[in-house]
Amino acid sequence: MNSIYKALFGSIFFWCVSASGYGQTTPQKHLPIIDVHVHAMKVTSQIGDLCPWFLSNMPGGDPNEKAPAFFSTECASPLKAAKSDQEFQDSLIETMNRLNMTIVASGDATIIRNWQKAAAPNRVIPSIGISNSEQMSVVAFTDSLSSGFYKVMGEVAPQYQGMSPSDMSLDAYFAAAEKLNIPVGIHMGTGGNGTINITNPKYRASMGNPLLLEDLLARHPKLKVWVMHAGYPMADEMIALMGANAYVYVDIAGMIWSYPLAEVNDYIKSLVQAGFGKRILYGTDLMIWPKLLETSIGVIENANYLSFDQKRDILFNNAVRFFRLDESKYR
C-alpha cells in the first residue's frame, strides 16, 4: 500500500465505525463528538462571513482612523454566515446527524427548543448563562435550573463586565449550581478582536486570568467548573489552576478558529504536555457559520501531536465524564 492510500485508509478507519453486520450495507456511523460551546442566537446581518484563523495578522492602525473590521474576509474561501434562522438550523442539524454530534447550547430559549425538536433525542443540551446579578434574580435563576430544562450553567462572562468570576455578586448563583449539581462554564480568555475598548469598554483582559477562579473554587468545593476558551493566552496560570484543582476542565472554543493555527496548536499541546489531556473539552463558540463545525473539528483531527486516544478524549470522552452523561445514549 503506498503512503497516500495508507493515509486515506487510516483516516477513514479513524473516523468511522461500522454499524453494519457482515454483508449489510448500513451506512457507517461517525465516531461521536460533543461540542460543549454553542450559542443559540437569532441570525443577524450584523455578523458577516468569516475567515478562520483571521487574527493571524493583527492590523496596526490608529485610533483616529476607522476601527479595524471585527472579522476578516480576506481569504480564499470565507465561511458563509447563514441568512436565516431556518437555514442555520437545517445545516446545523444536518451536520450534527452526519458527524454524530451532541451540542451544549446557550442563548435564545426558543431557538434551543426548536433545535431540540429537530435533532435526535438528547443531542441538544440546554445551558443558561448569567453574567451579572441584574440579568436575573437568584430565585428566578434557581427556578430555571430546577425546572429540569437547563442542564448546564453558561456562558458566564463576568470578564465582559470587568469583573472577576470570584466577585461576590455572582456567588449565590454559583451556590445554586453547586447545590443542584449543575456544571458551570465561565468565559476566561480573550475577547474583542482588537476593538474591545470601542465595542465593550468594560471588558478587562486581566479578568481572564484563570487564577481569579481560586476564591470561587475554595468557597464551592463541589462546583464543577470548566474554563471557556482555556484561559488563552495564560497557559502558565491555567496549568497552575488545573494542577491545584482536579475538577477544573477547559474548552478550546473560539480560540481554535480565530488565532493563528500554529499558536492554537501550541496552546493545546502545552496543556496536553502538562498532563491535562483528560480535562480538555472540544468546543467551537459556534454562532451563525454552519461550516465552522467541520473547520474546528479538523484542527483536532489533524493535530499530529495528539494520539488517537487523546483526540477521542478531547472530542468526546472528557465531556461525557465532565457532564456525567450516559455514554450509551451518544454512541
Nearer to Zn ion, 164 or 310 (CB): 164
**What are φ and ψ of residue 131, in 5° steps?**
-125, -10
Please count the CA atoms within 13 angstroms of the CA of 286 that sit on its side-chain side: 31
Distance CA 238, CA 248 (A): 10
- Binding to Zn ion by CB under 5 A, coded x per residue (else -) over 203-242, reads -------------------------x--------------
Per CB under 5 A, which of residues 125..154 are in contact with Zn ion? none
Helix (H) or strand (E) holding 195: none
The dihedral built from the CA positions of residue 122, 278, 251 and 292, taken in this order, carries a sign that is negative
| Cβ at position 1, least distance to Zn ion in Å | 44
3-state secondary structure 303-320: CCCCCHHHHHHHHHHHHH
| Cβ at position 46, least distance to Zn ion in Å | 18
Nearer to Zn ion, 187 or 279 (CB): 187
Nearer to Zn ion, 213 or 306 (CB): 213
Distance CA 314, CA 306 (A): 10
Distance CA 80, CA 68 (A): 20
| Cβ at position 226, least distance to Zn ion in Å | 11
Nearer to Zn ion, 32 or 52 (CB): 52
| Cβ at position 190, least distance to Zn ion in Å | 9
| Cβ at position 322, least distance to Zn ion in Å | 17
Nearer to Zn ion, 163 or 306 (CB): 163
| Cβ at position 254, least distance to Zn ion in Å | 6
Nearer to Zn ion, 187 or 311 (CB): 187
The per-type count for the chain, helices as H runs and strands as E runs, is 13, 10
Q: How many binding residues for Zn ion (CB under 5 A)?
A: 2
**What are φ and ψ of residue 102, in 5° steps?**
-125, 145
Distance CA 268, CA 235 (A): 9
Cα angle 74-54-90, degrees, rounded to a multiple of 5: 90
Distance CA 247, CA 242 (A): 8
Does 39 sit near Zn ion (CB under 5 A)?
A: no
| Cβ at position 288, least distance to Zn ion in Å | 15
Nearer to Zn ion, 119 or 228 (CB): 228
| Cβ at position 160, least distance to Zn ion in Å | 9
Nearer to Zn ion, 142 or 166 (CB): 166
Sheet containing strand 184-187, strands side by side: 33-40, 101-107, 124-128, 152-156, 184-187, 225-228, 249-251, 280-281
Per CB under 5 A, which of residues 173..192 are in contact with Zn ion? 187
**What are φ and ψ of residue 153, in 5° steps?**
-110, 120
Residue nearest to Zn ion (CB): 187
Residues that bind Zn ion (CB under 5 A): 187, 228
